[in-house]
């Protein structure tokens, strides 16, 4: 340790003390409660999305529309897979704040980079079978009643809109991943 460059800096906060361990335990309990609450809210939000798809699949099966039931079931399964992926990624966060700062930053950036870059696999991908089956079934049913031309015309807007949303999600995440990659590369050049 050398002479601090600005004595006033080190004269600040001389009365500071660490939080009492009992208070830390209380805070840890409160933190765990807030995590549990947050998880419950996330599950509830997931349920709100999942419930209509599952309900519609059940209703379609009841009235004998098995193709629709299968498609909606695939969509519901996609939602479950995405929710599970989200939960798994949150649970995999390893906390090791005692590592050197560069390594800590690198680990954080790498985790964010890989999560963003792989969005097509773990976030967009699971929805694809459900949407393909659903739009395919709608087109097939419409074609049976009105012909394939009418079916294609009717499906063009929803299919293109869904594709556009999917592409936008992937592109935005890729763009964010590239920004983080630049930070990662900069860390590699620090020495």
Partner 1 sequence: MEHEVEQLYREAGRQFAPAIARLARAFERDAEKARDLEQEIHCALWTSLARFRGECSLKTWVYRVAHNVAADHVAKAVRGPARVPLEEIEELPGSTDPEAEAAERLVLQRIAQLVRRLPALDAQVIVLWLEGERARDIAEITGLSEGAVNVRVHRVKTLLAGHFDQPEQEGAPA
The residues that touch partner 1, with contacts defined as CB under 8 A, are 1-6, 8-10, 12-19, 21, 24, 27-28, 31, 95-105, 108, 187, 190-191
Minimum distance from CB of 40 to partner 1 (Å)? 21
Please say which residue, 26 or 84, places its beta carbon nearer to partner 1: 26
Please say which residue, 99 or 185, places its beta carbon nearer to partner 1: 99
Nearest residue to 178 (alpha-carbon basis) of 102, 121, 119: 119
Please say which residue, 11 or 149, places its beta carbon nearer to partner 1: 11
Minimum distance from CB of 46 to partner 1 (Å)? 23
Please say which residue, 48 or 91, places its beta carbon nearer to partner 1: 91
* Nearest-angstrom CA–CA distance, 2 and 14: 18
Please say which residue, 55 or 90, places its beta carbon nearer to partner 1: 90
DSSP string, the chain: ----S-HHHHHTTTT--PPPHHHHHHHHHHHHHHHHHHHHHHHHHHHHHHHHHHHHHHHHHHTT-HHHHHHHHHHHHHHHHHHHHHHHHHHT----TTS-HHHHHHHHHHHHHHHHHTHIIIIIGGGHHHHHHHHHHHHHHHHHHH-HHHHHHHHHHHHHHHHHHHHHHHHHHHHHHHHHHHHHHHHHT--
Minimum distance from CB of 105 to partner 1 (Å)? 6
């Amino acid at each position: 340790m050398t002479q601090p460059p600005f004595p006033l800096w080190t004269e600040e906060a001389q009365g500071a003390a660490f939080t009492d361990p009992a208070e830390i335990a209380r805070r840890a309990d409160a933190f765990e409660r807030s995590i549990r609450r947050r998880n419950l809210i996330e599950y509830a939000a997931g349920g709100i999305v999942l419930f209509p798809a599952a309900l519609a699949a059940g209703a379609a099966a009841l009235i004998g529309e098995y193709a629709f039931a299968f498609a909606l079931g695939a969509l519901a399964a996609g939602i479950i897979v995405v929710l599970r992926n989200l939960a798994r990624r949150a649970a995999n966060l390893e906390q090791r704040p005692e590592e050197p700062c560069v390594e800590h930053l690198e680990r954080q950036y790498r985790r964010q980079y890989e999560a963003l870059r792989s969005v097509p696999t773990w976030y967009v991908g699971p929805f694809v079978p459900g949407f393909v089956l659903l739009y395919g079934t709608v087109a097939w049913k419409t074609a049976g009643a009105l012909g394939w031309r009418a079916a294609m015309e009717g499906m063009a807007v929803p299919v293109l809109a869904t594709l556009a949303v999917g592409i936008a999600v992937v592109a935005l995440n890729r763009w964010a991943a590239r920004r983080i990659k630049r930070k990662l590369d900069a860390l590699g050049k620090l020495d």
